[in-house]
Amino acid sequence: MDLDDEIPTLVEHSNDRVPLTIICGFLGAGKSTLLKRILTERHGYRIAVIMNEFGDTADIEAKTINVSSPDDPTAEASEEFLELANGCLCCSIKDVGIAAIEKLMQRKGAFDYILLETTGLADPGPIASMFWQNEEFASGVGKDIVLDGVVCVVDACFGQKQIEEDATYDEIGESIRQIAGSDVILLNKIDLVEPVEAAHLESAIRQINPAAPLHKTVRGQLDVGSIVNIEAYSTRPKFPVHGHDHNAIRAGHDHSEQSHYELRGISSLQVTCPTLGQEKMDKLDAWIRSVLWENQLPEGTQSSELQVLRCKGLVITDAGDQYVLQGVRSMYDMSLVGEEVVGVPEQGKLVFIGKGLDLVVRKSLEDIVNS
């Protein structure tokens, strides 16, 4: 295989793009409830929401605008736009693919943010990759859009069961992929479970994705600012501090009852790193390329089924420069943080989420950053 063919080119984003957040989540977890709330609440954002169905929105004060083509009257039933009193624009389209987004972008100017519900598109990875990296897309409708982040709604009632079922398959299950690939997690329907159950599920989620902030919600009630404009793909990652570390399971070190997720499903690897000189930066880059592109360690060590779904990090050089690592599957970007960021942390941090991130992989990475 010619590796050069496989190297993805990252798209340069211009500033006047409309940010887009992908909302994924388990079936019935509360994605539509969250979106409907956003569509009716006064929050000051002009958000275009793409969802597959309106459901019972008769109570939403709105006028229906039919944008279907006169040449294609059959499209009438499947595409609808509602302009809402709070400035939001609701877009109901059966297919949430490119065509839907193209239709929406014809109304550019009517909104300054897009929320995309991924009903029927269980794994957010491919769509996140499309907005982030796909050059063909970027030269078309994508030139007006920038990926802001991925939000996952987890059902507090059934999330635990879902994760456990997914963890028993050889392949990484959908719910685990969703949690792994997200930048913000909503643990919804918290009103329906006992605190101890919620804590248990939170631990399982933390084990899969320790890097995403988690909000416990009832009917998706939270500050809209917690899920929009988080700039997950363009700023320094904000690693949450977990208050209950005895609950938060650290991958690779915990042998509690939940460690079977690590064996069968996916786990995370977190490594703090001191400031790095150029040589170590180069080695780190080579390590990331090997792991993300070739699914193996640079020294050629075969690690069982190594596969990274998501990575994030902050790396600080000896010169005080800060680089942000962002990765979705095989794509990654290591970009210099602009001077507008005040204050340089003393150490960096790297988080990898995926399969096969065992102690051998940890040691290989630690050897580079700590040597």
Ligand X SMILES: Nc1nc2c(ncn2[C@@H]2O[C@H](COP(=O)(O)OP(=O)(O)OP(=O)(O)O)[C@@H](O)[C@H]2O)c(=O)[nH]1
**Binding site residues, ligand X, CB under 6 A:** 25, 27-33, 119, 188-189, 191-192, 218-219
DSSP symbol at 354: E
Query: What is the smallest separation between the CB atom of 132 and ligand X, expressed in angstroms?
Result: 24
Q: Which amino acid is at 21?
A: T
Query: What is the smallest separation between the CB atom of 214 and ligand X, expressed in angstroms?
Result: 15
Closest CA to 249 of 309, 195, 208: 208
Gap between the Cα atoms of 56 and 36, Å rounded: 10
Query: What is the smallest separation between the CB atom of 55 and ligand X, expressed in angstroms?
Result: 7
Between 51 and 369, name the residue whose CB sits nearer to ligand X. 51
Contact 362, 250 (CB under 8 A): no
Gap between the Cα atoms of 134 and 145, Å rounded: 12
Between 43 and 219, name the residue whose CB sits nearer to ligand X. 219
DSSP characters over 79-101:
EEEEEETTS-EEEEES--SHHHH
Residue 219 Cα to chain centre, angstroms: 21
Closest CA to 163 of 171, 153, 174: 174
Between 25 and 173, name the residue whose CB sits nearer to ligand X. 25
Gap between the Cα atoms of 296 and 361, Å rounded: 9
Between 174 and 285, name the residue whose CB sits nearer to ligand X. 174
Residue 152 Cα to chain centre, angstroms: 7
Query: What is the smallest separation between the CB atom of 220 and ligand X, expressed in angstroms?
Result: 6
- Among left, alpha and beta (phi > 0; psi -120 to 50; other), residue 368 is alpha
Contact 239, 211 (CB under 8 A): yes
Between 193 and 281, name the residue whose CB sits nearer to ligand X. 193
Positive or negative, the CA dihedral 261, 262, 265, 266 is positive
Burial of 109 (0-12, 13-18, 19+ CB in 10 A): exposed
CA triplet 167, 175, 120: central angle to 5 degrees?
140
Between 28 and 345, name the residue whose CB sits nearer to ligand X. 28
Q: What contacts 282, CB < 8 A, 6 or more positions away?
A: none
Between 162 and 303, name the residue whose CB sits nearer to ligand X. 162
Q: Which amino acid is at 287?
A: W
Q: Is 328 helix (H, G, I), strand (E, B) or coil?
A: strand
Between 31 and 103, name the residue whose CB sits nearer to ligand X. 31
Between 162 and 188, name the residue whose CB sits nearer to ligand X. 188
